[in-house]
């Protein structure tokens, strides 16, 4: 009789010890899964919103945005004149992402090119000294019309008919649980779409 009760106590102690050893590992695995799922959902939502906005932008339509509508801000360096078309693009992104993010936590970059051959390329230069880069005094072709040489010939904005436009949506995500080893506190996420506008 004494042996049976001692055996039961020993088994309960063993179960408690096994639980105490396994529980932290289980909590870590669940936390890591939650962080990974949250970042996957965030990336999906950013990609979806920028694709949705580009589908509207390629049409050249310029519908007015109702007053009081939320709009995502433009990223620094995307100095472009306000227009109903760009405002609608910004409002589409805000509406699509508002279930997960505050629109003010996102930023939208818009750049356009005459064609695909110019994407990400510098403005052409007359490289007199042959060093492969633009130096003061060297002539250049001012493709984007801003009066200075640029390492990227993009023009800020969603572009005109038959032009190539790049939509870039940026967000800084934070882990949901924050227990994943090596995962930084701030994770930059960027969704990018390159499209050719319809003729309009």
Could you write out the DSSP letters of every residue in the chain? -HHHHHHHHHHHHHHHHHHHHHHHHHHHHHHHHHHHHHHHHHHHHHHHHHHHHHHHHTTT--PPPPTT---PPBPTT------HHHHHHHHHHHHHHTTTS-GGGEEEEEEEESSGGGTTPPPPB--TT-SSS--TT--B--TT-SSS--SS--EESS--TT-EEEEEEEEEE--SS--STT--S-EEEEEEEEEEPPP-
Tens of pLDDT, residue by residue over 79-131, are 677 799 999 999 999 999 999 999 999 999 999 999 999 998 999 999 888 89
pLDDT digits (tens, 9 = 90+) for 24-48: 999 999 999 999 999 999 999 999 9
Predicted confidence (pLDDT) per residue in 125-172, tens digit: 998 888 988 888 889 999 888 889 999 999 999 999 999 999 999 999
């Amino acid at each position: 009789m004494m042996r049976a009760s001692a055996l039961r106590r020993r088994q309960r102690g063993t179960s408690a010890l096994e639980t105490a050893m396994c529980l932290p590992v289980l909590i870590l695995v669940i936390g890591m899964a939650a962080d990974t799922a949250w970042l996957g959902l965030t990336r999906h939502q950013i990609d979806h919103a920028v694709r949705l906005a580009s589908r509207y932008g390629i049409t050249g339509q310029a519908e007015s945005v109702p007053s009081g509508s939320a709009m995502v801000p433009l990223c620094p360096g995307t100095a472009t004149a306000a227009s109903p078309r760009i405002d609608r693009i910004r409002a589409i992104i805000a509406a699509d992402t508002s279930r997960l993010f505050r629109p003010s936590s996102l930023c939208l970059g818009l750049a356009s090119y005459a064609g695909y051959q110019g994407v990400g390329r510098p403005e052409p230069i007359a490289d007199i000294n042959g060093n492969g880069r633009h130096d003061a005094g060297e002539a250049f072709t001012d493709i984007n019309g801003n009066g200075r040489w640029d390492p990227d010939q993009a023009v800020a904005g969603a572009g005109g008919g038959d032009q190539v436009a790049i939509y870039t949506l940026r967000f800084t995500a934070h882990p949901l649980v924050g227990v994943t080893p090596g995962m930084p506190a701030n994770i930059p996420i960027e969704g990018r779409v390159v499209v050719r506008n319809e003729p309009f």
